[in-house]
């Protein structure tokens, strides 16, 4: 059976077979327990029946950072980190990046199937017709300081959408969810582009519904005095591929935030803002920004060896390397590396590319990285593409968020419709004080 490295099992939920069980002997009591195994998992709640005595709470599992805990059953994304496989709804990422558009992929992720021609045109129509922002949002954006980080602006503005669409709180209404899906996918690029224009002090560019999803985004970012903005097809396609590659990645930090916040039945704008906030960190979606800063700090090909020595000595990490799930070359990194060359053909070679290639070459041969199975991840080359397109580093996590919105929405809906899910609420192991006598302020030393 095909078995993903980070989740519970393959696409089908298998019935429990007689032999699918785990026998546990509790050496504290000598008692034996049979725990059913389904989809490669035991139910952690079954451990609760393992008790020393009747007053005992029961055994728990301790898993900081969820290294080996499946929190849900999902049918959206399959990853095999050892073999470097990533599939959305069964379709390999390489095929989608070659043959599909981002909007088609977003439909696949949110609906479970690829759209036919009429479904796709209907979908594109609805998403496109939700790209405009309420005029008051412009005033809201204007309130940010000129050097506000666009990711902070995006997070706050997405949360603010909740105040414009209070009906989004009706989360168990399928029609309402559909509407919020159009809005979130449609408005993310507009918020992102407006945040960018605000940081430059440039007027906002309104959406152009005749352009593709990604072409319109480029229009809102870069249009100046021309009557009609015509995106460069190579850049439009490269950015569309980047959105496809970032569209979902199963239960990562931001998706877990989306599911966790959504599990309290918060509206999808607040949950998406929380997910975007989780994405902002340099260990997650902020890594592409950190990669560029690292490459600039290294400064030249000659200084790469010295820099890697410092990383190995524990002075920081090699940004864009390593992954919780991939212990092989991240399949997205391979596709991005190819797309990078296509962008450089149009925009000229990014001078940081040579430093990046040297970092990759040395790290892939170095025992430190080889033994820890640290390979370039999705963020290693994406920043170079964005920079070559003329985007500042602060916009990199924002671009990640645009693509990932498709996955967040799909995962949020899957969580809401899963009858087994409840409000997310992990247990803890308490190792603090037992009950203590209160000492009044005058008596404290």
Q: Which residues are annotated as catalytic?
A: 284, 323, 379
Residues 336-395 binding ligand CMC (CB under 6 A) are: 372, 374, 377-379
Torsion of CA 429, 435, 441, 445, to 10 degrees: -80
Among 87, 259, 284, 337, binds ligand CMC (CB under 6 A): 284
Q: What is the CA radius of gyration of the chain?
A: 24
Q: Which range binds ligand CMC by CB under 6 A, 26-34, 110-118, 215-223, 312-320? A: 312-320
Q: Which range binds ligand CMC by CB under 6 A, 177-185, 237-245, 317-325, 423-431? A: 317-325
- Using alpha carbons, select from 74, 93, 83, 85 the residue that is nearest to residue 246: 93
Q: How far is the CB of 278 from ligand CMC (least distance, A)?
A: 9
Among 239, 287, 304, 406, binds ligand CMC (CB under 6 A): 287
Q: How far is the CB of 293 from ligand CMC (least distance, A)?
A: 12
Nearer to ligand CMC, 13 or 370 (CB): 370
Q: How far is the CB of 180 from ligand CMC (least distance, A)?
A: 24
Q: How far is the CB of 327 from ligand CMC (least distance, A)?
A: 9
Residues 19-48 binding ligand CMC (CB under 6 A) are: none
Q: Which range binds ligand CMC by CB under 6 A, 127-135, 184-192, 195-203, 278-286? A: 278-286
Q: How many Å apart are CA 253 and CA 403, to the nearest integer?
A: 15
Q: Which residue matches tokens 């152009």?
A: 208
Helices 233-246 and 396-417 sit at what angle, rounded to 10 degrees? 40
Nearer to ligand CMC, 137 or 398 (CB): 398
Among 317, 327, 334, 349, binds ligand CMC (CB under 6 A): 317
- Using alpha carbons, select from 316, 312, 315, 314 the residue that is nearest to residue 370: 312
Binding string, 290-309, against ligand CMC, x = CB under 6 A?
--------------------
Per the CB < 8 A criterion, the answer to whether 342 and 95 are in contact is: no
Q: How many Å apart are CA 71 and CA 6, to the nearest integer?
A: 11
Q: How many Å apart are CA 134 and CA 148, to the nearest integer?
A: 21
Binding string, 318-337, against ligand CMC, x = CB under 6 A?
xxxxxxx-------------
**Separation of first and last alpha carbons in the chain:** 64
Q: How far is the CB of 369 from ligand CMC (least distance, A)?
A: 7
Nearer to ligand CMC, 180 or 254 (CB): 254
Q: Which range binds ligand CMC by CB under 6 A, 124-132, 280-288, 292-300, 350-358? A: 280-288
Cα distances (Å, whole numbers) of residue 254 to 77, 228, 262, 425, 440: 15, 36, 12, 17, 44
Q: What angle do CA 306, 311, 312 make, to 5 degrees?
A: 95
Q: How far is the CB of 13 from ligand CMC (least distance, A)?
A: 26
Among 193, 311, 343, 359, binds ligand CMC (CB under 6 A): 311
Q: How far is the CB of 147 from ligand CMC (least distance, A)?
A: 25
Q: What angle do CA 215, 221, 227 make, to 5 degrees?
A: 75
Among 249, 259, 337, 404, binds ligand CMC (CB under 6 A): 249
Per the CB < 8 A criterion, the answer to whether 380 and 352 are in contact is: no
Q: How far is the CB of 16 from ligand CMC (least distance, A)?
A: 31
Contact call for residue 246 and ligand CMC (CB under 6 A): no
Tell me, by CB under 6 A, how many residues bind ligand CMC: 20
**One-character DSSP codes across 32-86:** EEEEEEETTEE-GGGGGG--SSTTS-------GGGTT------SSEEEETTTTEE
Per the CB < 8 A criterion, the answer to whether 375 and 333 are in contact is: yes
Nearer to ligand CMC, 171 or 318 (CB): 318
Q: Which range binds ligand CMC by CB under 6 A, 11-19, 108-116, 216-224, 283-291? A: 283-291
Q: Which residue is nearest to ligand CMC (CB)?
A: 322
Q: Decide: helix, strand or coil at residue 437.
A: coil
Nearer to ligand CMC, 252 or 394 (CB): 252
- Using alpha carbons, select from 256, 218, 290, 237 the residue that is nearest to residue 404: 256
- Using alpha carbons, select from 7, 3, 2 the residue that is nearest to residue 248: 7
Q: How far is the CB of 356 from ligand CMC (least distance, A)?
A: 13
Per the CB < 8 A criterion, the answer to whether 185 and 127 are in contact is: yes
Binding string, 251-270, against ligand CMC, x = CB under 6 A?
-x------------------
Structure token digits, residue 383 = 């920043």
Residues that bind ligand CMC (CB under 6 A): 249, 252, 283-285, 287, 311, 317-324, 372, 374, 377-379
């Amino acid at each position: 059976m095909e078995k993903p490295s980070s989740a519970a099992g393959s696409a089908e939920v298998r019935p429990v077979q007689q032999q699918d069980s785990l026998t546990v002997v509790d050496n504290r009591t000598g008692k034996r327990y049979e725990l059913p195994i389904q989809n490669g998992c035991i139910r952690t709640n079954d451990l609760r029946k393992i008790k020393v005595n009747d007053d005992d709470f029961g055994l728990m599992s301790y898993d900081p950072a969820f290294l080996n805990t499946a929190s849900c059953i999902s049918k959206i994304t399959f990853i095999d980190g050892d073999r470097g496989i990533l599939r959305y709804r069964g379709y390999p990422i390489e095929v989608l990046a070659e043959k599909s558009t981002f909007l088609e992929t977003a439909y696949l992720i949110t609906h479970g199937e690829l759209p036919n021609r009429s479904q796709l045109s209907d979908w594109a129509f609805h998403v496109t017709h939700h790209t405009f922002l309420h005029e008051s949002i412009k005033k809201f954006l204007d309130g940010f300081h000129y050097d506000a980080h666009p990711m902070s602006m995006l997070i706050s503005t997405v949360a603010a959408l909740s105040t414009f669409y209070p009906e989004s709180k009706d989360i168990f209404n399928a029609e309402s969810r559909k509407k919020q899906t159009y809005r979130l996918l449609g408005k993310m690029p507009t918020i992102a582009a407006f945040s960018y224009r605000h940081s430059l002090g440039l007027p906002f560019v309104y959406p152009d519904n005749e352009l593709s999803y990604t072409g319109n985004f480029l229009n809102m970012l870069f249009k100046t005095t021309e009557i009609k903005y015509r995106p460069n097809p190579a850049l439009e396609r490269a950015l569309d591929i980047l959105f496809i590659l970032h569209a979902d990645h199963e239960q990562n930090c931001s998706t877990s935030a989306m599911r966790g916040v959504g599990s309290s039945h918060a509206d999808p704008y607040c949950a998406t803002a929380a997910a975007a906030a989780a994405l902002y960190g340099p260990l997650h979606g902020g890594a592409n920004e950190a990669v560029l800063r690292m490459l600039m700090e290294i400064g030249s090909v000659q200084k790469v060896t010295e820099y890697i020595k410092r990383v190995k000595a524990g002075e920081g990490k090699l940004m864009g390397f390593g992954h919780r799930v991939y212990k092989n070359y991240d399949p997205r990194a391979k596709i991005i590396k190819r797309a990078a060359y296509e962008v450089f053909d149009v925009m000229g070679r990014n001078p940081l590319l040579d430093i990046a290639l040297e970092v990759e070459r040395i790290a892939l041969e170095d025992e430190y990285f080889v033994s820890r199975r640290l390979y370039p991840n999705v963020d290693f080359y994406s920043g170079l593409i964005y920079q070559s397109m003329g985007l500042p580093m602060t916009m990199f996590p924002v671009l990640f968020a645009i693509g990932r919105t498709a996955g967040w929405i799909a995962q949020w809906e899957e969580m809401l419709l899963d009858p087994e899910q409840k409000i997310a609420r992990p247990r803890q192991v308490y190792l603090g004080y037992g009950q203590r006598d209160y000492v009044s302020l005058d008596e404290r030393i």
